[in-house]
Amino acid sequence: MILTVTPNTALDITYRVRSLRPHTAHRVTEVTERPGGKGLNVARVLAALGHEVTVTGFTGGVTGRALRDQLADTPGVVDALIPVEGATRRTIAVVDTATGDSTQLNEPGPEITPAEWAAFQEAYEVLLRSASAVALCGSLPPGVPVGAYAGLIRTARAAAVPVLLDTSGEPLRRGIAARPDIVKPNADELAELTGSHDPSRATQDARRRGARAIVASLGPQGLLALTPEGRWHATPPAREHGNPTGAGDSAVAGLLSGLVEQLPWPDRLTRAVALSAATVQALAAGEFDRAAYEKLLARVSVTAA
């Protein structure tokens, strides 16, 4: 079983409009609503790839109930979310179908009490007993300690469960020092962490801070990976047009599935880039275009960097 942790779950709402313009009314042409937050998106992709997945984190209120109701209809995903008094947040993506650009609005999330955080930590330790890998994903809701991911990484390492960390800011800075197996920042998060806008230099700096492997997402330029086995740059055959929301989460799913299947690093990166590009062509985060994915697998380029 692969475990994904999403402390700040969300109900993801995607609006599609023909052209997004400020200060005007828009007629929405299509609406999709999905259980969201980075770890839940990762879980849906992993399940679609045939892996058993359990999701945990916090959920509450009316939006939390809607999220869990929809999650119950997702094959292959087991709900181990922790109920809280506060309301689960909503995230709203507005996609301009003329350009493919997306505008994102993210609510902060519920206030987590010390008792709720303690309940989560107890449940997490139990779930680790049957986990083959764990992904710690996304932002931390109010009330959760900023060093929470560092503590969760140390708990997983004590249980001999490999950990992937995908977050930003101070939680990333503290988490990487706890020595996760893989860290997957995007270019902006990597620059914020290291102070360098040169991805090659920044990945070296980030790895020295404690991570076993750094896989940096460079958007249309693919993934740059620095691992104990070598350095690689994996790129898609062309820039995909569509909704990029969730593309990074699909890359995480590719990396995690490759880890538990013990694939060589170039194969993990090929899968991650193909899934990411195929997600851009899908309607919502946590989904990918299966036909596009199969074609892209043979066309992703992985070179030593």
pLDDT confidence of residue 194: 94
3-state DSSP assignment of residue 50: coil
Q: Given 198, 249, 267, 289, which residue is catalytic?
A: 249
The pairing of strands 223-227 and 213-217 is antiparallel
pLDDT confidence of residue 299: 87
Residue 249: active-site member: yes
Q: Which portions of the chain are predicted below pLDDT 50?
A: none
- Taking the CA of residue 163 as centre, how many other CA atoms within 13 Å lie in the half-sphere pointing to its CB? 28
pLDDT confidence of residue 284: 60
254-287 core/surface letters (b: 16 or more CB in 10 A; e: else): bbbbbbeeebebbebbbbbbbbbbbbbbbebbbb
pLDDT confidence of residue 243: 61
pLDDT confidence of residue 77: 95
Per DSSP (E only), the strands in the chain are 2-6, 10-17, 28-36, 53-59, 77-79, 82-83, 89-96, 102-106, 133-137, 163-166, 182-183, 213-217, 223-227, 230-235, 301-304
pLDDT confidence of residue 144: 96
pLDDT confidence of residue 240: 63
pLDDT confidence of residue 285: 60
User: Letter for the amino acid at 37?
Assistant: G
Closest of 187, 183, 84, 103 to residue 141, by C-alpha: 84
pLDDT confidence of residue 22: 87
Q: For the beta carbon of residue 70, count every other beta carbon within 10 angstroms.
A: 15
75-87 core/surface letters (b: 16 or more CB in 10 A; e: else): eebbbebbebebb
Instruction: Please state, in angstroms and rounded to a whole number, the distance separating the CA atoms of residues 192 and 26.
Output: 35
